[in-house]
Structure 1
Amino acid sequence: MEQLTGEDPAHIGPYRLIARLGAGGMGLVYLGRSDVGRTVAVKVVQAEHAQHPEFRKRFAREVAAARRVGGAWTADVLDADTEAAVPWVATQYIPGPDLTTVVAQDFGPLPERSVTTLANRLALALRAVHEAGLIHRDLKPSNVLVTVDGPRVIDFGIARAMDSLAGDSLHTRTGMLIGSPGFMSPEQVRGLELTPASDVFCLGALLVYAATGRLLFGATETGLNAHLFRIAEEEPDLTGVPDELVELVRACLEKDPAERPTPQEVADRTAAERSGEWLPGAVLAQLGRRAAHLLDYSPTPPAGRPAVPDPRDRFAQQVPPQPAYTPTAPAYSGAGRARAR
Structure 2
Amino acid sequence: MTGTTPPPLSGNTARPLQLEDPRRLGNYQVIGRLGQGGMGTVFLGRAPDGTAVAIKVIRPELAQRPEFRARFAREAESARRVRRFTTAAVLDADPHGPQPYLVTEFVEGPTLSRHVSVRGPMRPADLEQLAVSVTTALSAIHAAGIVHRDLTPGNVLLSPVGPKVIDFGLAREFNADTELSRNVRQAIGTPGYMSPEQILDSPITSAVDIFSWGAVMVFAATGQPPFGTGRMEAILYRIINEPPRLDGVSGELRGLVEVAMAKDPGARPSAEELRTALIGGGALPARPVPVATPAEPAETAAAQ
TM norm. shorter chain > 0.5? yes
CA distance in 1, matches of 2:46, 2:178: 40
CA distance in 2, matches of 1:181, 1:168: 22
Superposed counterparts of 1:144-159, under 5 Å: 144-158=156-170
Pairing partner for 1:261 from 257, 262, 269: 269
Q: Report % sequence identity.
A: 45
Show structure 2 runs of 5+ residues with no match: 1-13, 282-304
Q: Report the alpha carbon displacement of residue 6 of structure 1 after superposing the two structures with TM.
A: 2.2
Aligned to 1:216: 226
Aligned to 2:188: 178
Against the structure 1 CA distance between its residues 166 and 94, is the aligned structure 2 distance closer, same or farther, given a 3 Å change threshold? Answer: farther
The answer to whether the 8 A contact 2:17-2:32 is kept is: yes
CA distance in 2, matches of 1:2, 1:165: 36
Pairing partner for 2:74 from 46, 53, 61: 61
Matched, 1:28 2:45: no
Show structure 1 runs of 5+ residues with no match: 274-341
Against the structure 1 CA distance between its residues 16 and 94, is the aligned structure 2 distance closer, same or farther, given a 3 Å change threshold? Answer: same
Code of the aligned partner of 2:220: A
SS at match of 2:38: coil
Code of the aligned partner of 2:186: M
Pairing partner for 2:260 from 248, 252, 255: 252
Against the structure 1 CA distance between its residues 191 and 168, is the aligned structure 2 distance closer, same or farther, given a 3 Å change threshold? Answer: farther
CA RMSD of aligned residues (A): 1.9
List per-residue Cα deviations over 1:254-294 (Å, max 9, x = no partner). Answer: 11112212111211122269xxxxxxxxxxxxxxxxxxxxx
SS at match of 1:151: strand
Code of the aligned partner of 1:140: T
SS at match of 2:279: coil
Matched, 1:42 2:55: yes
Q: Number of matched residues?
A: 268
SS at match of 1:176: helix
CA distance in 1, matches of 2:214, 2:60: 34
The answer to whether the 8 A contact 2:111-2:153 is kept is: yes
CA distance in 1, matches of 2:123, 2:193: 21
List per-residue Cα deviations over 1:200-219 (Å, max 9, x = no partner). Answer: 11000000000001011011
Aligned to 1:111: 123
CA distance in 2, matches of 1:272, 1:18: 44
SS at match of 2:93: strand
The answer to whether the 8 A contact 1:32-1:39 is kept is: yes
Matched, 1:83 2:83: no
Superposed counterparts of 1:1-341, under 5 Å: 1-104=14-117, 106-158=118-170, 161-164=171-174, 167=177, 172-174=182-184, 176-219=186-229, 221=230, 223-271=231-279
The answer to whether the 8 A contact 1:55-1:165 is kept is: no
- Structure 1-normalised TM-score? 0.75
SS at match of 1:182: helix
Code of the aligned partner of 1:37: G
SS at match of 1:120: helix
The answer to whether the 8 A contact 2:215-2:226 is kept is: yes
List per-residue Cα deviations over 1:116-156 (Å, max 9, x = no partner). Answer: 11111110100100110111111001111111221111111
CA distance in 2, matches of 1:192, 1:41: 32
CA distance in 1, matches of 2:160, 2:280: 19
CA distance in 2, matches of 1:168, 1:260: 30
CA distance in 1, matches of 2:38, 2:219: 22
